[in-house]
Structure formats: C-alpha cells, structure tokens
C-alpha cells in the first residue's frame, strides 16, 4: 500500500483552481472549497440532529463533504456546464468513479472500507450523498455572493441568484433552514462569513514562502490528516473510543477564530509561558463570543469544536497532531528549494518525535514521511 498517496493528494488540492475563467477577485481552489463544504456540513449536521431530530451519521456527512472533490487532483476542476452536458455525463461520472476507486486502492486494506464511504460514495444516492451535493451548491452560492458584492452584475451575480433559487427548493429542510438563517439571523450570517473569508488569512507570516498557504487550505488538510489518523488507530490499532464527529468538528473549526484574531506567528505566541497563556485566553474568549452569536441549539456542539478544539480529549490530541504534521510537511516541501525552512523542519520533526507516542504518529514517521521525502512525485 502507498498511504503517502493520500497525503500527496490532499496537498495537491490547493493547486486545483476554481472559477478562474471568470476572473474572480478572490482566488479559489479545491482545498479551500472542500474546507468550506466540510464547515457547512458541520452546521448542517447540527441542524439535522438538534433541530430536525434526524438520525443521521454526522461523521459520514462531514467526511464526505471534506473529501468529495479529492478526485480533482487527477481530473481537474470540470466546469459545471461540461458536467451537465448530456453526451458527457456518463463518461465524466465513470471517470470520476474510477479515479475515486484508485485513490482508495492506495490506502491500507484496513482503511479502504471507511474511505470508500467518504470518497467513492461521497455523492451517491443516499441521504448524506444528496446533502453533500446541496452543500457543494451552498458553498458555490456563498462564493458567488461574495464576488457579486464586489462586481455588480455579470456572471457571479447571475450565478448567485440561480443557486439561491435552486437551494430555496432543496428537498432538504436543513439546507433551506440554513439559507433562510443566513438571510435573517445576523449570527449565522456572520459565522458563514468567517468560514468564507478564512482563505484571506495567510499563514507563515514573516517567512520566505515558495508554497502559499492560508487558514482555509490548512484547515482542510488538518481535517483530512486527522480523519486518516483516527481511522488508522481505530481500524489497524483497535483504539475504538474515538468520536469521529467531535474530531472532524474540532479539526475543521480549529482555526476559525483566526478570522477575528488573525494568524499570529508561533515565535510570538510561544515566546514565554505568560504570553502563550494570554493568547490562549484571548482566542478562547473570541471563540466563545463567536459561538454565542449562533442559535441556542448550536452552541453546545460549536463550543466543543471552537473553544475546546485542542483540549485534553483524545480527539483534541489528534487535532494537535494533525496540525503539527501539516506544518512538518509544509516545511518538508519548502526546504527542497528554500533553505530558510531547514531549521523549522528540524524543530517540528523533533517536537513530533519527542511529544507524541500515538501508534498513528509512529506509523506516519516510519512509512509516510519517508515516502513523502523520497518519492519523486513530491520532489
């Protein structure tokens, strides 16, 4: 098996451009889009469970929304009009299915069942598969709405109105509820703006970067890495007591607070114990304020996801691990042509080696990191 192929795919997602033929003011890519879809899926999961009392699998829905476009690292971003062309529909669907199955085939046997659900069956005929399709449209509507506010008239205005009309007729009560709340509830509207605008928060400030990064693409990768590690520990190492819903919610939402606070460089945030604690308290309070603006039935879950994203639960630990591994791989990629990152890579690798003893971390260091470092595809 070549599990590193999964890691390579999630890092390649940010190079799959979206909307570029329409010259949007805000650049978009498959990683940012997938983050937003997963974040919207978190909200939809809460609405389905807490408000509508539906017995859905939230981890299944969020996992599908997170990874539903992973095949675009092979197929590219196929335009909507092309996907709907009658003479091409069957061919495109077959190609995407084949690519999805190939992506899953690279994973360890113990992981293939779960990731078949997330990748191959992401937009199937099931209840969650249909929700993922509407969530995908919901994110496209949000993006077009933001663009239309900058460019009155034209393509994005027309597409926003088309998508809004389509979603108003959604067969899913939760989708229609969220759309109405976005237009009538300031707290929901503001939170969706935080999600939408997370791609404007650049990471690694003060460093010379050859590989661009922002909080949206980072959050996508952290969630995808956390999901991989959770299933590896559940399926291969039989650590059963992992709440996948909590893990996904925490990993997807862990940096949303930076939509208010910004991304403060680690050397500043961790310059002393007092400074570290002060930043932690500030960010926790900002997160509480954000959550408290949401409808009351959302607050309990969203507090767990935002305020306690990296708490002392096993799920919080896995989020912290995924966050550190993402930074390690970013540095690994940079140092190939950017010696500025050599010390960062060494520090991060040492930190991971000395702090974490989880079986999935040992597996990553022994197999995946080696493959990522020496495989010619990543050079």
Domain residue ranges of the chain, discontinuous segments joined by +? 4-378
Kind and range of the H or E element at 18? strand 17-18
- Quick check: 70 and 97 in contact, CB under 8 A? no
Tell me what percent of the residues of the chain surpass a pLDDT of 70.
Answer: 95
Q: Which of 97-111, 136-150, 335-349 has the lowest mean pLDDT?
A: 335-349
Question: What is the mean predicted confidence (pLDDT) over 158-181?
Answer: 97
Claim: this prediction has a pTM higher than 0.85: yes
pLDDT for res 378: 42
Question: What is the mean predicted confidence (pLDDT) over 259-266?
Answer: 72
pLDDT for res 204: 78
pLDDT for res 267: 65
> Alpha helix locations (H) across 116-185?
127-150, 154-168, 173-184
- The structure tokens 């997170």 sit at 66
Cα 274-358-46 angle, rounded to 5 deg: 75
In which band, very low, low, confident or very high, does the pLDDT at 28 lie, cut at 50, 70 and 90? very high
- The structure tokens 């310059």 sit at 271
Distance, CA of 258 to CA of 209 (rounded, Å): 20
pLDDT exceeds cutoff 70 at 1? no
pLDDT exceeds cutoff 70 at 314? yes
Distance, CA of 335 to CA of 338 (rounded, Å): 5
Closest listed residue to residue 141, CA positions, set 156, 114, 163: 163
> Average per-residue pLDDT in the chain?
91
- Quick check: 203 and 218 in contact, CB under 8 A? yes
| Residue 37 neighbours by CB under 8 Å, 6+ apart | 65, 66, 68, 69, 132, 135, 136, 139
pLDDT exceeds cutoff 90 at 20? no
Distance, CA of 126 to CA of 123 (rounded, Å): 8
pLDDT exceeds cutoff 50 at 377? no
281 pairs with which residues across the strands? none
pLDDT for res 302: 97
pLDDT for res 294: 97
pLDDT exceeds cutoff 50 at 379? no
pLDDT exceeds cutoff 80 at 227? yes
Burial of 321-334, coded b for 16+ CB within 10 Å and e otherwise, reads bbbbbbbbbbbbbb
Kind and range of the H or E element at 28? strand 28-29
Question: What is the mean predicted confidence (pLDDT) over 341-362?
Answer: 93
pLDDT exceeds cutoff 50 at 46? yes
Tell me what percent of the residues of the chain surpass a pLDDT of 90.
Answer: 73
In which band, very low, low, confident or very high, does the pLDDT at 215 lie, cut at 50, 70 and 90? very high
pLDDT exceeds cutoff 80 at 192? yes
pLDDT exceeds cutoff 80 at 245? yes
Q: Does the structural domain 4-378 have CATH classification 2.30.30.40? A: no
pLDDT for res 262: 72
pLDDT exceeds cutoff 90 at 278? no
Six-digit token string for 13: 């997602």
Six-digit token string for 319: 């989020």
pLDDT exceeds cutoff 80 at 375? no
> Alpha helix locations (H) across 262-358?
266-269, 273-292, 296-306, 314-334, 342-355
Six-digit token string for 307: 């305020």
pLDDT exceeds cutoff 60 at 361? yes
Question: What is the mean predicted confidence (pLDDT) over 14-27?
Answer: 90
């Amino acid at each position: 098996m070549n599990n590193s192929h999964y890691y390579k795919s999630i890092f390649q997602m940010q190079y799959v451009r979206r909307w570029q033929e329409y010259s949007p003011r805000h650049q978009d890519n498959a990683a940012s889009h997938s983050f937003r879809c997963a974040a919207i899926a978190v909200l939809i999961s809460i609405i389905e469970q807490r408000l509508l009392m539906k017995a859905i699998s939230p981890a299944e829905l969020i996992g599908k929304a997170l990874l539903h476009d992973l095949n675009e690292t092979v197929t590219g971003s196929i335009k909507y009009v092309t996907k709907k062309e009658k003479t091409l529909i069957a061919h495109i669907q077959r190609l995407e299915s084949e690519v999805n199955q190939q992506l899953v085939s690279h994973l360890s046997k113990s992981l293939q069942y779960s990731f078949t659900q997330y990748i191959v069956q992401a937009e199937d005929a099931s209840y969650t598969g249909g929700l993922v399709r509407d969530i995908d449209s919901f994110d496209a509507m949000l993006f077009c709405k933001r663009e239309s506010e900058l460019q009155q008239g034209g393509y994005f205005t027309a597409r926003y109105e088309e998508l809004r009309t389509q979603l108003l007729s959604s067969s899913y009560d939760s989708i229609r509820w969220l759309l109405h709340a976005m237009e009538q509830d300031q707290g929901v509207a503001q939170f969706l703006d935080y999600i939408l605008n997370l791609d404007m928060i650049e990471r690694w400030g003060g460093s010379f970067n050859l590989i661009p990064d922002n909080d949206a693409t980072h959050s996508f990768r952290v969630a995808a890495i956390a999901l991989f590690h959770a299933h590896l520990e559940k399926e291969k190492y039989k650590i059963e007591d992992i709440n996948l819903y909590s893990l996904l919610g925490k990993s997807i939402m862990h940096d949303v607070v930076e939509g208010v606070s910004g991304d403060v460089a680690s050397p500043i945030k961790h310059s002393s114990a007092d400074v570290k604690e002060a930043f932690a308290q500030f960010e926790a309070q900002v997160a509480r304020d954000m959550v408290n603006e949401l409808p009351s039935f959302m607050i309990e879950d969203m507090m767990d996801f935002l305020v306690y994203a990296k708490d002392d639960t096993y799920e919080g630990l896995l989020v912290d691990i995924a966050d550190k591994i993402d930074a390690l791989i970013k540095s690994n990629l940079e140092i190939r042509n950017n010696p500025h990152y050599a010390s960062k890579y060494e520090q991060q690798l040492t930190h991971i080696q000395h702090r974490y003893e989880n079986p999935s971390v040992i597996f990553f260091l022994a197999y995946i990191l080696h493959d990522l470092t020496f495989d010619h595809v990543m050079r």
